[in-house]
Amino acid sequence: MRLFIAVQVPAQIREKGAEIAREMVASGLPIRMVAAQNMHLTLKFLGEADETKAAAVKKALETVAFDKFGVSICGFGAFPSITRPNAIWLGCKSAELGALAAKIDAALAQLGFPHEKFSGHLTIGRAKARCDLQEFAKKYADFDFGAFEAASFALIASQLASGGPVYSVIGEFFAGE
């Protein structure tokens, strides 16, 4: 199974992301939308793991202590760039989210997972072919998609299916009081 660690995002924010993706598709851009129910803030992608490795990851994540924190979803961008996009995303503002990602990175280093640079974002689509998103970047550069309080993060398994990935939470970890 493929594993990743993420903060779940409220439905109203995910739906706003889906609206932008639908707008891009309707404009003729070659975009594959991420299903709204699958949108999340990835803290760390772990890749393929068996049941034993998943159990070890879950145990390591139980040691990560954090407090509830605010997250603001605003702005628009793409990796590697707006003019040559692969992943299309909404921006994320939260110093605490980055701090949580660093704690998770440190907890999983003992299991052999490499350190990764964290860049908080909410992926809403993927480019199927070369395209230019400058018009959308200008339109949504300063757009506020909403804010929420993050009180947990999850270890999620991804199973690839014909209709897209199917996610299942295999562990959820909550903020201290």
Residues serving a catalytic function are 40, 121
139: tokens are 């339109």
**Pair 133, 78: CB distance under 8 Å:** yes
**Tokens 């772990």 belong to which residue?**
46
DSSP string over 61-75: HTT---B-EEEEEEE
Q: What is the largest CA-CA distance in the chain?
A: 48
**Tokens 């998609």 belong to which residue?**
145
Q: Is 72 left (phi over 0), alpha (psi -120 to 50) or beta?
A: beta
Q: Where are the alpha helices (DSSP H) in 62-133?
A: 95-109
**Tokens 């990835």 belong to which residue?**
42
